[in-house]
């Protein structure tokens, strides 16, 4: 472990002041603006965040303006940035601050942690940058830098690793520039000590880095066991009436919570053998017959009109048009797809059908929207891709 007398914090700060990028959130000490930037930067590249950050603050310049807005408008402003739960948590946090702190962002680390959705990293970033409090702010970039700096031989996600890294930073963080120190570590991890290539010749900590001394930069951080990605089908009905499309809001919890989608259903691939002709359960013979088929044979199951008619009956509660739907499907339809969309722990293989609808559907969970309205709604990128050319892979 690095000793308290080390000069590496000074080398790091001098490097940061010389090369730091000119980013809009670095030109303010407004705790609210810093909060917004930190939330947007989670799992999103800087170049993508900048225009969203600027537009968001133009529309919601204060905690109060955000707290008084409708969640739907906040999600619309977030459209295209992805990971919409961040927007919802930010909005909920603003409402909490407005109610409990009279609209002012709390002025110390412990009070910031009381805000719903604000964790140790975000609280540390706000407290150190806006209020100059001597507290760490450890994100993925900082974890990587520290793991290489001290050649830490355990995965960074472990509780022990978190405790050790906080001890290292407690010794190293200067009292005079705690915010710059935290930003410098983040900057180093984002631009020099990167995941795939540690550019040691450009690093101000090269001579103090244990991983570099060992010649094993790529061995750190130590990898933890890989999280398995769940494979799922996502079947979707693109139901049109003139220039309008039928949409519904997703549940308030879980994947893509509170966002809009086209009616449809997710079926995990390892459960797909349980579905045939719309049945919720099969005989042993039927289950074995389908489960033993090749993937292409299984795919053929949802090329049949009966599959899509059963899907329609499950996701649309208004059955007044059942006969019309059945006739349409019996004439044959084009099943489009697949396109693939990857979430952090889930991969959708998406198929859909287009249907022109003659009458209104009366279903409390569904509504018709125009193309212009759709452009302004919080429609996840996964569903936006159904409006574009298929046969491409997208990641989010």
Just list the catalytic residues: 38
Rounded CA separation 389/366 (Å): 25
The full DSSP string for 256-313 is: TTT-EE-SEEEEEGGGGGG-BTTBSS--HHHHHHHHTS-HHHHHHHTTSHHHHHHHHH
Q: Are 205 and 217 in contact (CB under 8 A)?
A: no
Query: What are residue 268's DSSP bridge partners?
Result: 232
Q: How far apart are CA 267 and CA 345, in angstroms?
A: 15
The residues near 254 (Cβ < 8 Å, ≥ 6 apart) are none
Distance separating alpha carbons of residues 375 and 378, to the nearest angstrom: 8
CA 246 vs. chain centroid, Å, equals 25
C-alpha separations of 111 from 40, 96, 202, 376 in Å = 21, 12, 38, 35
Q: Is the peptide bond before 322 cis (omega within 30 degrees of 0)?
A: no
- Calculate helix-pair angle for 31-40, 120-130, nearest 10 degrees: 140
């Amino acid at each position: 472990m690095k000793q308290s007398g080390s000069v590496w914090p000074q080398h790091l700060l001098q490097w940061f002041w010389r090369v730091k990028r000119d980013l809009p959130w670095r030109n303010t000490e407004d705790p609210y603006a810093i909060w917004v930037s930190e939330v947007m930067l989670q799992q999103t590249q800087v170049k993508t965040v900048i225009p969203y950050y600027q537009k968001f603050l133009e529309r919601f310049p204060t905690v109060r303006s955000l707290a008084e807005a409708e969640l739907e408008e906040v999600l619309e402003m977030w459209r295209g940035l992805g990971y919409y739960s961040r927007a919802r948590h930010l909005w909920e946090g603003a409402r909490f601050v407005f109610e409990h702190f009279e609209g002012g962002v709390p002025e110390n680390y412990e009070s910031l942690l009381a805000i719903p959705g604000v964790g140790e990293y975000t609280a540390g970033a706000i407290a150190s940058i806006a209020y100059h409090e001597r507290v760490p702010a450890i994100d993925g970039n900082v974890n990587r830098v520290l793991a290489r700096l001290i050649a830490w031989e355990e995965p960074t996600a472990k509780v022990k690793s978190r405790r050790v890294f906080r001890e290292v930073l407690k010794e190293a963080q200067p009292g005079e520039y705690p915010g710059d120190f935290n930003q410098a570590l983040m900057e180093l991890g984002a631009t020099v000590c990167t995941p795939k290539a540690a550019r040691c010749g450009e690093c101000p900590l090269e001579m103090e880095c244990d991983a570099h001394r060992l010649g094993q930069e790529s061995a750190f951080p130590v990898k933890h066991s890989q999280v398995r990605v769940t494979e799922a089908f996502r079947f979707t009905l693109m139901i049109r009436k003139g220039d309008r499309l039928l949409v519904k809001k997703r549940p308030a919890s879980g994947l893509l919570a509170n966002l809009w989608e086209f009616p449809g259903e997710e079926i995990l691939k390892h459960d797909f053998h349980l579905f045939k002709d719309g049945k919720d359960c099969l005989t042993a013979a039927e289950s074995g017959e389908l489960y033993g088929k090749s993937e292409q044979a299984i795919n053929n199951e949802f090329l049949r009109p009966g599959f899509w008619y059963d899907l329609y009956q499950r996701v649309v509660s208004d059955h007044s048009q059942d006969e019309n739907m059945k006739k349409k499907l019996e004439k044959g339809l084009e099943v489009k797809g697949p396109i693939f969309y990857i979430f952090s722990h889930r991969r959708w293989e998406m198929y859909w059908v287009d249907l022109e609808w003659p009458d209104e559907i009366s279903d409390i969970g569904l509504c018709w929207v125009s193309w212009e309205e759709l452009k302004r709604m919080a429609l996840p990128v996964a569903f936006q891709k159904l409006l574009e050319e298929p046969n491409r892979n997208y990641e989010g």
